[in-house]
């Protein structure tokens, strides 16, 4: 429990748009935000700077950043010398998938929550516009929640099970952009691009940029991030 009357919630805060909206929803629901960010050797480490900004803007009670160098494993365009695709959103699991990332990250968030006295976890996974990542599906979240409550003192001995909140689970990227607007968030606080250009500019062409740009376009909203003038057209737009 936090030092005031609000319940503590452990929020996995990457610094991306989805995690920012998720953290803001947790705050709106009355939780005190205990944010966890993970430096896993990602090529887009600029998202960690965004996470720090978001935690401050949302008045997080605590923001912890830990290091876990997944570059030693490789196996992903985000953690190894593999080109980030720029030709469009993949139909299958893309090379930007980091092996078992959400499984590892949720395990760390559960440990963080238990140590913080929190029993509510928030994660911004999304099963609709999610780039095909298997660890964003509701089946995974449900299974992990059961495992967490079998593997922790809180779940087994204290009878205080963890609850994993996935408020964006059934939202499209356009829905998420609208939710950010409703919550009064500045999208420029967040970062989504997998392959930043010099000068901390998003590339506009990786699948994460494409999904984000398409979401804001469909929502009829302006993204606070500035994309290159030669970024590929947004899918569905007339050119």
Q: Are 23 and 6 in contact (CB under 8 A)?
A: no
CA nearest neighbour of 184 among 82, 57, 95, 11: 57
Binding residues: 13-23, 193, 203, 206, 209
The DSSP-derived string for 68-106 is --GGGT--STTTSS-PPP-SS--SS--TTPPTTHHHHHH
Binding residues for ATP: 13-23
Strand order of the β-sheet with 62-67 is: 62-67, 32-39, 8-12, 120-122, 163-165
CA nearest neighbour of 176 among 57, 23, 17: 17
Binding residues for Zn(2+): 193, 203, 206, 209
Distance, in Å, from the CA atom of 206 to the CA atom of 230, rounded to the nearest integer, reads 13
Strand pairing partners for 64? 36
């Amino acid at each position: 429990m936090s030092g005031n009357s609000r319940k503590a919630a452990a929020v996995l805060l990457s610094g991306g748009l989805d995690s920012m909206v998720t953290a803001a929803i947790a705050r709106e629901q009355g939780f005190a935000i205990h944010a966890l960010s993970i430096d896993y050797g990602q090529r887009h480490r600029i998202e960690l700077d965004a996470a720090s900004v978001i935690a401050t803007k949302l008045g997080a009670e605590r923001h912890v950043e830990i290091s876990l160098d997944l570059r030693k494993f490789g196996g992903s365009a985000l953690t190894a010398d593999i080109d980030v695709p720029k030709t469009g959103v993949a139909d299958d699991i893309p090379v930007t998938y980091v092996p078992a990332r959400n499984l590892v990250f949720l395990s760390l968030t559960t440990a963080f929550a238990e140590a913080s006295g929190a029993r509510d976890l928030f994660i911004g996974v999304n099963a609709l516009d999610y780039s095909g990542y298997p660890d964003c599906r509701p089946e995974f979240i449900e299974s992990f929640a059961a495992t967490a409550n079998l593997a922790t003192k809180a779940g087994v001995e204290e009878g205080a099970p963890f609850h994993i909140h996935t408020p964006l689970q059934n939202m499209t990227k356009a829905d998420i952009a609208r939710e950010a607007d409703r919550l009064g968030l500045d999208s420029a606080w967040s970062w989504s691009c997998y392959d930043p250009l010099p000068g901390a500019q998003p590339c506009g062409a990786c699948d994460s940029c494409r999904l984000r740009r398409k979401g804001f376009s469909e929502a009829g909203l302006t993204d606070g991030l500035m994309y290159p003038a030669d970024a590929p057209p947004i899918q569905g737009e007339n050119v």
